Amino acid sequence: MDAAAKARFDLIGENLAEILNPELLESILAEGRNPRVYWGTATTSSPHTGYFLPALKIAQLLAAGCDVVVLLADIHGFLDNLKAPLDLVENRAKYYSKIITAILESVGVQTDKLEFVLGSSYQKNADYVMDLYRLSSLVSEHDAKKAGAEVVKQSNNSPLSGLMYPLLQCLDEEYLKCDAQLGGVDQRKLFVAATEWLPKIGYRKRAHLINPMIAGLNGGKMSSSVQDSKIDLLDTPEAITKKIRKAEAAPRVIEENGVLSMVEYILLPAAGLKGRKEFRVERKDEEPLIYTDIKQLHEDYKNDILTPQVLKPAVAAALVELMAPIRAAYEGSAEWQEITLKAYPPPEKKQKKVKDKGSRYPGAQNQ
By CB under 8 A, is residue 14 in contact with a second copy?
Answer: no
Which is nearer to a second copy, 157 or 303 (by Cβ)? Answer: 157
Q: How crowded is residue 288: how many other Cβ atoms within 10 Å of its Cβ?
A: 10
Closest CB 134 distance from a second copy, rounded Å: 7
Q: Which of 4, 130, 250, 328 binds a second copy (CB under 8 A)?
A: 130
Q: Which of 19, 37, 55, 139 binds a second copy (CB under 8 A)?
A: 139
Per CB under 8 A, the segment of 42-50, 56-64, 76-84, 206-214 that binds a second copy is: 76-84
Per CB under 8 A, the segment of 1-9, 30-38, 49-57, 132-140 that binds a second copy is: 132-140
By CB under 8 A, is residue 129 in contact with a second copy?
Answer: yes
Residues 266 and 322: beta-carbon distance below 8 Å: yes
By CB under 8 A, is residue 149 in contact with a second copy?
Answer: no
Closest CB 232 distance from a second copy, rounded Å: 27
Which is nearer to a second copy, 130 or 324 (by Cβ)? Answer: 130
By CB under 8 A, is residue 138 in contact with a second copy?
Answer: yes
Closest CB 81 distance from a second copy, rounded Å: 10
Per CB under 8 A, the segment of 33-41, 99-107, 133-141, 347-355 that binds a second copy is: 133-141
Query: How many Å apart are CA 270 and CA 278, to the nearest integer?
Result: 9
Adjacent-strand bridge partners of 182:
39, 209
Closest CB 159 distance from a second copy, rounded Å: 5
Query: How many Å apart are CA 276 and CA 107, to the nearest integer?
Result: 11
Which is nearer to a second copy, 125 or 337 (by Cβ)? Answer: 125
Adjacent-strand bridge partners of 116:
70
For residue 50, the one-letter residue type is G
**DSSP character at residue 291:** E
By CB under 8 A, is residue 153 in contact with a second copy?
Answer: no
Chain-centroid distance, C-alpha 121: 22
β-pair type (180-184, 36-42)? parallel
Beta strands in 191-285 (DSSP E): 207-211, 279-283
Residues 204 and 182: beta-carbon distance below 8 Å: no
Query: How many Å apart are CA 222 and CA 214, to the nearest integer?
Result: 7
Size of the site for a second copy (CB under 8 A): 30
Closest CB 86 distance from a second copy, rounded Å: 9
Residues 42 and 355: beta-carbon distance below 8 Å: no
Q: Positive or negative CA dihedral for 89, 93, 95, 96?
A: positive
Angle formed at CA 127 by CA 124 and CA 133, multiple of 5 degrees:
85
Which is nearer to a second copy, 161 or 225 (by Cβ)? Answer: 161
Closest CB 202 distance from a second copy, rounded Å: 13
Q: Of 257-316, which residues contact a second copy (CB under 8 A)?
A: none
Query: Mask: binding to a second copy, 325-344, rule CB under 8 A, as x and -?
Result: --------------------
Give the residue among 367, 365, 364, 358 at the shortest CA–CA distance from 80.
Answer: 358
Which is nearer to a second copy, 147 or 214 (by Cβ)? Answer: 147
By CB under 8 A, is residue 75 in contact with a second copy?
Answer: yes
Closest CB 310 distance from a second copy, rounded Å: 49
Q: Positive or negative CA dihedral for 361, 99, 209, 134?
A: positive
Closest CB 320 distance from a second copy, rounded Å: 40
Query: How many Å apart are CA 220 and CA 215, to the nearest integer?
Result: 6
Residues 40 and 71: beta-carbon distance below 8 Å: yes
Q: Of 155-184, which residues contact a second copy (CB under 8 A)?
A: 156-164, 167
Query: How many Å apart are CA 54 and CA 214, to the nearest integer?
Result: 11
Chain-centroid distance, C-alpha 353: 23
Closest CB 154 distance from a second copy, rounded Å: 8
Residues that bind a second copy (CB under 8 A): 75, 79-80, 82, 123-126, 129-130, 133-134, 136-142, 144, 156-164, 167
